[in-house]
């Protein structure tokens, strides 16, 4: 039985080698169906098993020489079985990897190296197994083969780690010191030295030339400006309408939240810097010192570029390890700020479990505490007396606590305190004016959402030139309290009979007001959205978010599109532009709408000026349908030459040879410098019973200029 099983496994290994060679030869033609994609995504899960088995086999092969013949025979059989199992599992892993590599977002040299070293490891394992089976096996050949396999595993693992975690993931601890060198303020460039490090640290592991998730690369300025399949990454000067800012402010559990759950998240400081940079029109070459002295981006960038606490050298002794272990609880964590440093950082959390005792208990390590985080806790002025005893405290976070000017006064005793955050507290301009000068070592204080007016913040900064006053996002009349627009929860906005409108907002307590008649929603007359609104025809929903203490959001429009009939089959009369192949004729009836941005995969692309390159679709129905309107949903971006169709013709009849013209449409052209938009042109006609429908849309032509036509959906009613 065992011999039959091994023989079967050997035959399977031969077949696997042939099959993998076949896939590699015809890889460019390989299309992985959706039902098979989950198999490919198991590649990272399975990959560790063949690694372990192959290394064990190599080690046993080296160990078995120089021992008794009986023991040698035992280890020979064991190594052969491990090699066979490892090679078969390697084959499965290679197949999974090939399937996974055909998905969107994987490309580049790193992928190619990972693929070929992985395939090479599999072939080496197969060869080593057959060498191990032959009578001419010799220690030298087995040692060389084993060394090659181990080397291939290391190289493959290195490139695999780079794909999963970003470039230089393995060597990151070694090169970190070089990357983290502090750039002098007078030499620092906002993008190169502030924004790009944030993107590299938190985003580039998934958005680089070798792993283009969402067809987005964040490695250089040109790629950042280009955006990804969901469109442009940002709108210069308008953070609230920028996709980048919207995604990072989504709830963590949201699928589209960035960075995704499980990845290192942006800090409040990093998110603020991205917002401020976009508000400054995303300039890539401006120096920090070129910004006005009171500019929020300059102040925040200056704070970001300052040497971190962990770089400081401390004279005090380390705290007792047992004391630290005792003071660590479920709601209080204490840890060194850096390996080998005596300085400690303390985080206290869970407002419901908080008490003053959690601070007074820290007296045993008061000399070692250099950073204390008490955000969103019911900290009072009396608690500050305990904090004032932490003589080496450098950084104190008191955002959204209950402190007043009385508590702030106690902090004057902390001579080493250089960073203080009191955002969201009840402190006033007068409180801050009186107390900031008494904090002699203070370099930065964050005071946004304290009720401080913009003019008061300016006066405060003018009176305290040595302190960076972070007042939040208040350039151009906006601030951090401006709400993002509402979002739509519906999986698709295309429906056949009726649809229940589903809107949401990531911030709790927000009131959404809306209109269905094209008018702008307001906070008084417009109805409040309550998830009970249903529509049965094509409708534009305009919505706006409101919340007390916040600026209302911009108005956002969601077009719910009715399409009663879906053809049983459809064919293209003319080929699609190779730039945007979409999903062939099926793309016009799959209920998937595109967004602003030509790279979105929902758009089918046609280019004027090329012979027979109109948009032409013939739709067939097994049973005749009575139809009275046809619509085409398209994108307009005047600046990049994406225009409406010059003309749309709709023909219908019993079959393709018996068609008559039902309607002809000419959509309006965009105006010069008109912002990008999504539009619908719809033609009405007398009800007609048809089994065949032909739709022709001609791209716009002006003299020798070629204009693009991007269409995602056709609506048949």
CATH number at residue 545: 2.60.40
Cβ count within 10 A of residue 476: 11
96, 110 contact by CB (below 8 A)? no
Listing DSSP states for 10-28 in one string gives HHHHHHHHHHHHHHHHTGG
Q: Please give the residue that has the higher pLDDT: either 57 or 535.
A: 535
Is position 296 within any domain?
no
Per-residue confidence (pLDDT) for residue 350, from 0 to 100: 76
Is position 297 within any domain?
no
Per-residue confidence (pLDDT) for residue 178, from 0 to 100: 45
Q: Is the pLDDT of residue 449 over 60?
A: yes
**Comparing 261-270, 290-299, 495-504, 601-610, which segment has the lowest mean pLDDT?**
601-610
**Comparing 215-219, 449-453, 587-591, which segment has the lowest mean pLDDT?**
215-219
**CATH assignment at residue 581:** 2.60.120.1190
Q: Which residue has the tokens 């003053």?
A: 356
Calpha distance 302→190 (Å, rounded): 10
Q: Is the pLDDT of residue 586 over 80?
A: yes
Per-residue confidence (pLDDT) for residue 567, from 0 to 100: 94
Number of H helices, E strands in the chain: 19, 27
Average pLDDT in the 392-408 region? 89
With 0-12 / 13-18 / 19 or more C-beta atoms within 10 angstroms meaning exposed / middle / buried, residue 555 is middle
Q: Please give the residue that has the higher pLDDT: either 136 or 140.
A: 140
Which range of residues forms the domain containing residue 537?
487-562
* Distance, first Cα to last Cα, the chain: 66
Average pLDDT in the 290-315 region? 73
Q: Are residues 147 and 255 in the same domain?
A: no
Q: Please give the residue that has the higher pLDDT: either 543 or 458.
A: 543
Query: Which 8-state DSSP code applies to residue 704?
Result: T
Q: Is the pLDDT of residue 9 over 80?
A: no
Calpha distance 210→216 (Å, rounded): 11
Tens digits of residue pLDDT in 324-376: 888 888 778 888 887 778 999 898 877 777 888 989 999 999 999 999 988 88
Is position 696 within any domain?
yes
Per-residue confidence (pLDDT) for residue 188, from 0 to 100: 82
Q: Are residues 438 and 535 in the same domain?
A: no
**CATH assignment at residue 382:** 3.80.10.10
Q: Is the pLDDT of residue 246 over 70?
A: yes
Q: Are residues 184 and 260 in the same domain?
A: yes
Q: Is the pLDDT of residue 125 over 50?
A: yes
* Range with top average pLDDT, 39-43, 295-299, 543-547: 543-547
* Predicted model pTM: 0.42
Is position 609 within any domain?
yes
Per-residue confidence (pLDDT) for residue 579, from 0 to 100: 58
Among the candidates 447, 477, 507, a domain finishes at: 477
Calpha distance 558→408 (Å, rounded): 48
Among the candidates 524, 541, 562, a domain finishes at: 562
* Domain count along the chain: 5
Average pLDDT in the 371-391 region? 89
Q: Is the pLDDT of residue 621 over 70?
A: yes
β-partners of residue 513 are 528, 544
* Range with top average pLDDT, 64-68, 228-232, 310-314, 461-465: 461-465
Q: Please give the residue that has the higher pLDDT: either 71 or 345.
A: 345
Among the candidates 562, 579, 613, a domain finishes at: 562
Per-residue confidence (pLDDT) for residue 534, from 0 to 100: 92
Distances (CA, A) of 415 to 356, 374, 392, 437: 23, 20, 8, 12
Q: Are residues 659 and 541 in the same domain?
A: no
**Comparing 36-45, 396-405, 569-578, 705-714, which segment has the lowest mean pLDDT?**
36-45
Interacting residues of 570 by C-beta distance below 8 A, sequence separation 6+ = 585, 586, 588, 589, 617, 618, 619, 620
Q: Is the pLDDT of residue 538 over 90?
A: yes
Instruction: For residue 513, name the pLDDT band (cuts at 50, 70, 90).
Output: very high
Averaged confidence pLDDT in the chain: 80
Is position 301 within any domain?
no
Query: Which 8-state DSSP code applies to residue 329?
Result: B
Q: Are residues 149 and 8 in the same domain?
A: yes
Q: Are residues 268 and 313 in the same domain?
A: no
Q: Are residues 116 and 246 in the same domain?
A: no
Q: Are residues 251 and 353 in the same domain?
A: no
- What is the SS3 string spanning 540-580? EEEEEEECCCCECCCCEEEEEEECCCCCCEEEECCCCCCCC
Chain center to CA of 157 = 24
Q: Are residues 581 and 694 in the same domain?
A: yes
* Range with top average pLDDT, 277-291, 574-588, 590-604, 678-692: 678-692
Is position 175 within any domain?
no
Q: Are residues 208 and 243 in the same domain?
A: yes
Cβ count within 10 A of residue 697: 24
Average pLDDT in the 642-661 region? 91
Average pLDDT in the 276-304 region? 77
Is position 300 within any domain?
no
Average pLDDT in the 481-505 region? 86
Q: Are residues 457 and 590 in the same domain?
A: no
With 0-12 / 13-18 / 19 or more C-beta atoms within 10 angstroms meaning exposed / middle / buried, residue 384 is buried
Average pLDDT in the 487-508 region? 87
Q: Are residues 520 and 609 in the same domain?
A: no
Instruction: For residue 65, name the pLDDT band (cuts at 50, 70, 90).
Output: low
Is position 303 within any domain?
no
Per-residue confidence (pLDDT) for residue 275, from 0 to 100: 83
Q: Which residue has the tokens 């198991």?
A: 42
β-partners of residue 7 are none
């Amino acid at each position: 039985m065992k011999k039959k099983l091994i023989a079967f496994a050997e035959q399977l290994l031969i077949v696997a080698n042939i099959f993998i060679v076949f896939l590699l030869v015809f890889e460019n033609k390989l299309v992985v169906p959706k039902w098979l994609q989950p198999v490919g995504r198991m590649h990272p899960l399975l990959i560790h098993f063949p690694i372990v088995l192959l290394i064990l086999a190599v080690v046993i092969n080296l160990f078995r020489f120089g021992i008794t013949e009986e023991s040698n025979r035992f280890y020979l059989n064991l190594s052969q079985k491990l090699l066979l199992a490892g090679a078969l599992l390697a084959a499965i892993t290679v197949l999974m990897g090939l399937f996974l590599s055909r998905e969107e977002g994987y490309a580049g040299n790193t992928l190619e190296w990972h693929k070929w070293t992985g395939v090479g490891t599999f072939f080496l394992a197969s060869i080593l197994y057959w060498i191990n089976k032959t009578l001419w096996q010799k220690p030298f050949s087995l040692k060389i083969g084993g060394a090659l396999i181990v080397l291939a595993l290391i190289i493959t693992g290195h490139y695999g780690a780079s794909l999963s975690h970003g470039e230089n993931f393995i060597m990151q601890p070694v090169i970190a010191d070089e990357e983290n060198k502090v750039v002098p303020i007078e030499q620092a460039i906002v993008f190169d030295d502030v924004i790009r490090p944030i993107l590299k640290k938190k985003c580039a592991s998934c958005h680089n030339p070798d792993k283009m998730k969402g067809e987005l690369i964040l490695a250089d300025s040109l790629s950042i400006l280009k955006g990804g399949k969901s469109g442009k990454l940002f709108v210069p000067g308008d953070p609230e309408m920028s996709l980048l800012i919207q995604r990072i402010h989504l709830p963590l559990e949201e699928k589209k939240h960035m960075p995704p759950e499980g990845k290192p998240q942006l800090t409040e400081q990093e998110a603020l810097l991205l917002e401020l940079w976009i508000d400054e029109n995303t300039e890539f070459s401006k120096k920090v010192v070129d910004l006005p002295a009171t500019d929020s981006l300059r102040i925040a960038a200056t704070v970001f570029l300052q040497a971190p606490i962990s770089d400081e050298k401390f004279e005090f002794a380390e705290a007792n390890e047992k004391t630290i272990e005792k003071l660590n609880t479920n709601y209080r964590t204490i840890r060194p700020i850096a390996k080998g440093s005596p300085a400690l950082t303390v985080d206290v959390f869970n407002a419901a479990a908080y008490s003053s005792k959690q601070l007074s208990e820290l007296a045993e390590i008061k000399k070692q505490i250099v950073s204390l985080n008490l955000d969103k806790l019911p900290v009072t002025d009396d608690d500050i007396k305990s904090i004032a005893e932490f003589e080496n405290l450098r950084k104190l976070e008191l955002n959204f606590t209950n402190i007043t000017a009385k508590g702030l006064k106690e902090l004057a005793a902390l001579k080493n305190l250089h960073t203080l955050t009191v955002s969201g507290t009840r402190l006033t301009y007068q409180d801050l004016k009186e107390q900031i000068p008494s904090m002699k070592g203070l370099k930065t204080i964050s005071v946004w959402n304290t009720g401080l007016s913009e003019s008061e913040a300016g006066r405060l900064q003018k009176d305290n030139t040595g302190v960076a006053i972070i007042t939040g996002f208040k350039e151009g009349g906006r601030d951090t309290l401006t709400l993002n627009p509402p979002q739509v929860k519906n999986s698709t906005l295309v429906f056949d009979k009726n649809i229940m409108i589903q809107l949401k907002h990531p911030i709790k307590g927000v009131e959404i007001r809306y209109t269905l008649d094209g008018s702008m929603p307001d906070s008084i007359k417009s109805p409040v959205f309550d998830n009970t609104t249903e529509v049965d025809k094509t409708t534009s929903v305009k919505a706006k978010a409101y919340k007390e203490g916040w600026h209302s959001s911009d108005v956002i429009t969601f077009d719910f599109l009715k399409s009663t009939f879906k053809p049983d089959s459809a064919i293209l009369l003319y080929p699609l532009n190779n730039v945007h192949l979409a999903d062939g004729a099926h793309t016009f009836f799959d209920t998937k709408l595109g967004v602003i941005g030509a790279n979105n995969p929902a758009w089918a692309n046609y280019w004027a000026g090329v012979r027979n390159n109109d948009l032409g679709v013939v739709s067939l129905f097994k049973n005749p349908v009575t139809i009275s309107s046809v619509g085409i949903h398209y994108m307009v971006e005047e600046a990049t030459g994406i225009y409406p169709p010059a003309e749309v013709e709709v023909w219908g009849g019993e079959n393709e040879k018996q068609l008559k013209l039902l309607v002809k449409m000419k959509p309006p052209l965009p105006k010069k410098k008109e912002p990008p938009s999504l539009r619908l042109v719809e033609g009405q006609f007398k009800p007609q019973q048809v089994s065949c429908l032909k739709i022709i849309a001609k791209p716009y032509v002006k003299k020798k200029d070629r204009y693009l036509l991007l269409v995602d959906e056709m609506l048949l009613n």
